Structure 1
Amino acid sequence: MHKEIVGVFPGQGSYAPGRLAEFADEPAVREILEITDAVGAAHGIDPVSSLLLYPDAPGIDVLAQNAPERLMLAIFAAGTTGHAILSTIHGVSFDVFLGHSFGEIAALTAAGAFTVENGARVLCLRSEALRSSPPPPGGLVAVPLPADRVEHLLLGGGFHRLEIAAVNAPRQSVVSGPDDELERFARITAALGAPVSRLPSPYIFHNRLCEPAARAFAESIASVATQPLTARVFSSVENGFYPDSETARAALPGHLTRPVRYLDAVRHLNAHGADTFVECGTGNILTALACRAVADVSTVAMFGESPLASQLEKIRTAAPARTSESAASGTARTVNPAPSVQPPAKQKDISSSPETDLDRDRLIAELCSAYADHLGYPEEVFTSDADLEADLGVDSLKRTELLRWTADKYRLGTLPEGTRTGDYPTVAAIAELILRPGEAQNV
């Protein structure tokens, strides 16, 4: 199987002042930064070249709070210049481009869909849409839990405005939403032993609360010129390759409201031959996440722990460099588009059998309250279908204690030897044990 090199482009949060200082004299870098600064000036944004060329430039927290448009344009410029450094100076030939969040704009620019000028313009218009039609005050938090468990916590906790913004790794999800609900969510995850980390983001992203901004963005970029793709671009939001530049441009506004599925994208590309992921930008976040997503992949980060030259040498040793023509020859290859990400359907609650609805509902509420008190968990995380182990992290010893307490309280007698806690994974299953003890599952 032909092995492929994927260029990955980060979005929000991937910035470090002065990281491109050593490349300040490279003509390709100077040209890109000059173009980006000129476009930014036309949109009232201070130059970003100084942020990337001078180590004493403001840090990410200061920019996120005081100059978010400048920060996002700097991240775009860093990704675009990173690609130029890797391809023109070091001769890296990319087969596929993959962007994370608004990093997809830089990925499309690298793939020829936009000129550098128009890519920067798209990014500025995105910032203007967010400024003119802002979502409520809020942001993003990273939580060290699988996406399905986070989804359960959001549903069970009554978080109506929080949404999963990104699924980055098997045990790393990002949640977006207003500050009040993020604070309550943080208290719950802390109680579960999974404290969140606030990300330096000036806005809520990848959330339906961004719909007004998405509409404004769509209107503003409708006339931005595109060019034919010269390389393939896989969208981590659309979950497939873009067939053409116009489709990609039309999709970008919707990304403000939909989640990034970086984990799925990395796994899909790896399953179809991608074995090397190269980060174009000032950090190594995406390559680190790729290693967590798939075993035995090679990664290169321009500013990783090892010198860039030694990282690139490993690639050349493993697979001889390919020409840009051989990479471009695959532009017509596409995959069948995957369905759009839909909110997961709520699992059927087995507590809703008609013959004992009231008794069962009352019993489940009583059990949820008692278990929350016994474990020291917030009561709102308990729902009838919450898996005590997988969703709430209750170990087998504590689940055994809960079963014994339940048997005593509801006079079930001594549970038969060999009864397994795994036979009763949810509060609803334990309620069935109480309501129908004769049908209890024993071994």
Structure 2
Amino acid sequence: MSQMNRQPIAIISDRADPAAEVVNQDVGGQNVYVRNVGETLAKLGWQVDMFTRKVHPDDAKIVQHSPHCRTIRLSAGPEEFIPKNDLFAYMPQFLEAFLKFQSKEGTNYPLVHTNYWLSGWVGLQLQELRNIQLVHTYHSLGIVKYQAAGYQPPIGETRLAIEKQILEQANCVVATSPQEQEALRKLVSETGEIRVISGGTDISNFRLLSKTEARLKLGFNPTERIVLYVGRFDPSKGLETLLQAGANCQARSQGNFRLVIAGGEDPDLEGDREEERIRILAQELELTENILFTGRLAHDILPFYYAAADVCVVPSYYEPFGLVAIEAMACGTPVVASNVGGLKFTVIPEETGLLVPPHDIAGFAAAIDRVLTDDVWARKMRKQASLRVRQNFSWAWVAGQLSDLYRCLLAKSIMNEQLWHLHLPKSTNASHVEVSATESAKLGKVS
């Protein structure tokens, strides 16, 4: 079997299914990250198993993405959607299911890459039980999110404690931007290894397209000034700020102004009520005639919406990376974004877009107007934005960086084990060696 020559690794994403369909399930940046990282790592020579929680009885237990990459759905609790704030109670069952699958397959995963704090807890247990090399990506930091939202759920204290433990005990934490690295150091812990490796996007799908052709395909007027938002209905995404800014744009008073809202509800936050709130606000601001709600869009049609837009707005109050921003830039669309988190890393002010303080209605209105009214500058930004993404945010680049990190950690782990064997007392018997090797490897893990 060809995978015998490949090193198996496990990627755990318990709450974000890498095999989920974009248009009809709770799919966000984490799903996209995990699936693309997994598939690209397989192309680089790894045997990749991606583990997630089974949320529907009819979902296939195993989805084969390519000969060397698959998603494995484990039963942990009822096979139904469970809000993320209620999922921690089922993580021991997830861990048990993972260990059973590993035993049944006879596969050893010397390295596990966990995603989000719930998966991170599973990784910490595996680190104790199996002495794995543990790599972790947060995707969202509890302390930053709670500060931005002004609210901490009942599970909050548990999450904060586990996120701190992950940073201090994992072999390496992958931050998707220098800003996330800074937040981890200042707000979570001063100890622990951090490597900055950004997220990415599919540059074969999100690419430069003709604005005229995109508008023709979508039925938009060629002369409309189109402002685009892509994302879920979530209070932390800042849609309220965007609508109020849109109502105050000078471009709106000049006519031919269209605000396009692309996205669906977030089941974790009773998003249907949030969408209703936004629709009511649009009526109150007399934006109904200017606004189009598209619902959730498939990834094959989304690039045409980016290309058709004059500007894409990301008004989030908190954003650890900002996938929408790089998708838009890949399509050559200037971005107006909040100067928070990873958006300060992905968007280069004056070159690929503009950054505005979150909640700043007047600031967003002025930034949108500036992009809409300066055609020469906007055309220049289209080229620069697309080039920046192609050079810095392709999945091939991201997976290459992760692959190098994995190999480094595994090599250090082997070296530590060899050094330990080299210094074994000659009188030590085999049974003591086996027990001591496990403990020594734990003590000698890469920090």
Range of TM-score over shorter length? under 0.3
Using CA pairs below 8 Å that are at least 6 residues apart, which structure has the higher relative contact order?
A: 1
TM-score (norm 2): 0.26
